[in-house]
Amino acid sequence: MPVYPAGSLNTAALTAPDLYVQIQPPKTRYINGVATDILGIVGVASWGAVNSPMLIGSPGDASQKIGSQQVRKYDLASAVAISIQLGASNIRAVRVTDGTDTAASGTLMDGGGTPAVGATLTGYYTGTLGNSLKAVLTPGTAASSWKLTISMPGVSPEVFDNITGTGAALWANIVAAVNNGQSGIRGASQLVIASAGPSTAAPAQTSGAQTVTFSGGTDGATTITDSVLVGVDGVTGSTRKGMYALRGTGAQVVNLVDVSDSTQWPTMLTFGLSEGAYVITQGPAGASYATVSTSLTTAGCDSYALKVLVGDWVYWQDQVNGQQRMMAPATFTAAELAALAPHQSPLNKPLRNVVSTQRNLAQQPYSLPEIGAINTARLDVITNPCPGEATSGAARA
């Protein structure tokens, strides 16, 4: 009974009958894991692509991609800030608008007797953050050249140096440098898009430089409603809006910021089931558990893919704007769920950035019978103290 390592025996050349043993090495089989910490958030912002998921993992990412938090309903940056505080670090943020959003712009002028536009610079994205853009045109490092520096607070300046040419050719070269980059030096601008003007004269200068400030950027957040955040589905990513922009992102938990319209819950539930996602929502601010329970029953949503919290909204300390704000409870719950490992229950987990809730602030803490009624109604609640711990947390998962 000879024994051979697998592959070293030529079985076709065997002539004598016998038992031949070949040793097969063990095979390593890999099981591809599925990320469970991806948190999808939909809301309004002051910068960034519209209806396109953006990867955010830190406060720096948030400020550069969607702008700073603002005191308004549906604010995406505020929800992202809360989520990061609670440990969520794999966020897919989707910005929505009401269609009236505009990009900020500024113009580089020539020095002719009647100044004409040499180039128009327009924000890469729409939004009020674009109003903080600044462009400075100065003589370049090389002789007879120009340097354009584009900056935005919190972002490294973009410098396009040694741009040559005269008259209209110079302006065309500036536009080309901004839009296409300078080969081997730097890439195209990620802050602005340039277009040439009618000028054929040299740039104007004041004390050796021309400084342009941008204006006209708007967020398109004036007439936003819950249905805008839910959005519409489409065959391709370019036609999907709102919540549906999260298709294919692997988001395991979804939060539509401040959405509380119960008529949208069936649509949200259907999306959650189709994507394998856990969609978190809540009743309107101040709505009792009895009212929210009735809305849930009317909506006909009874599935593991939708979690509904009562209308007891949460107070949170906004460090950027220096005030205490009332925020939707789903924002906190969704972030906590995304931050926890799959085997960990969110039941009675502390939420460290919660200051208070509407009921607690009114000194009306939930009694145990009320917690039981909320549980029976298939709802969840954030309260302090939550059962078993003297801190704000989810009383029911």
Q: With bands split at pLDDT 50, 70 and 90, how would you rate the model's confidence at 386?
A: low
Q: How far is CA 112 from the centre of its chain?
A: 45
What pLDDT, on a 0 to 100 scale, did the predictor assign at position 349? Answer: 86
Q: Which of 31-35, 213-217, 244-248 has the lowest mean pLDDT?
A: 31-35
Which of 217 and 15 is assigned the larger pLDDT? 217
Element (H, E) at 54: strand 54-56
* pLDDT per residue as tens digits for the range 142-172: 999 999 999 999 899 999 999 999 999 999 9
Three-state DSSP class for residue 139: strand
* pLDDT per residue as tens digits for the range 285-308: 999 999 999 999 999 998 999 999
First-to-last alpha carbon distance for the chain, in angstroms, is 62
What pLDDT, on a 0 to 100 scale, did the predictor assign at position 138? Answer: 96
Domains in the chain: ranges and CATH: 39-99+221-394 (3.40.50.11780), 105-213 (2.60.40.4290)
Q: What is the dihedral of CA 72, 75, 81, 84, to 10 degrees?
A: 150
How many other C-beta atoms lie within 10 A of the C-beta of residue 200? Answer: 15
Q: Which of 5-9, 110-114, 377-381 has the lowest mean pLDDT?
A: 5-9
List Cβ neighbours of 228 (8 Å cut-off, separation of 6 or more). Answer: 96, 98, 242
* pLDDT per residue as tens digits for the range 309-322: 999 999 999 999 99
Do 57 and 90 contact (CB within 8 A), yes or no? yes
Q: Which of 205, 148, 204, 208 is nearest to 179 (CA)?
A: 148
What pLDDT, on a 0 to 100 scale, did the predictor assign at position 396? Answer: 43
Longest dimension (CA), the chain: 105
What pLDDT, on a 0 to 100 scale, did the predictor assign at position 310? Answer: 95
Residue percentage of the chain with pLDDT more than 70: 96
> Is a pLDDT exceeding 80 seen at residue 197?
yes
Q: What is the DSSP-derived secondary structure letter of residue 132?
A: G
Give the C-alpha separation, 50 to 165, whole Å: 37
> Is a pLDDT exceeding 90 seen at residue 391?
no
Which of 270 and 7 is assigned the larger pLDDT? 270
Do 371 and 396 contact (CB within 8 A), yes or no? yes
* pLDDT per residue as tens digits for the range 62-83: 999 999 999 999 999 999 999 9
Tokens of 119: 């180039």
Q: Which of 381, 317, 395, 393 is nearest to 355 (CA)?
A: 317
Tokens of 326: 């009332």
Element (H, E) at 273: helix 265-275
Do 120 and 142 contact (CB within 8 A), yes or no? no
Give the C-alpha separation, 271 to 384, whole Å: 32
Tokens of 193: 């898009």
Enumerate the β-bridge partners of residue 122. Answer: 105, 193
Chain-wide mean pLDDT for the chain? 92
Give the C-alpha separation, 389 to 220, whole Å: 43
* pLDDT per residue as tens digits for the range 334-351: 999 999 998 888 888 889
> Is a pLDDT exceeding 70 seen at residue 393?
no
Mean pLDDT over residues 362-390, rounded?
84
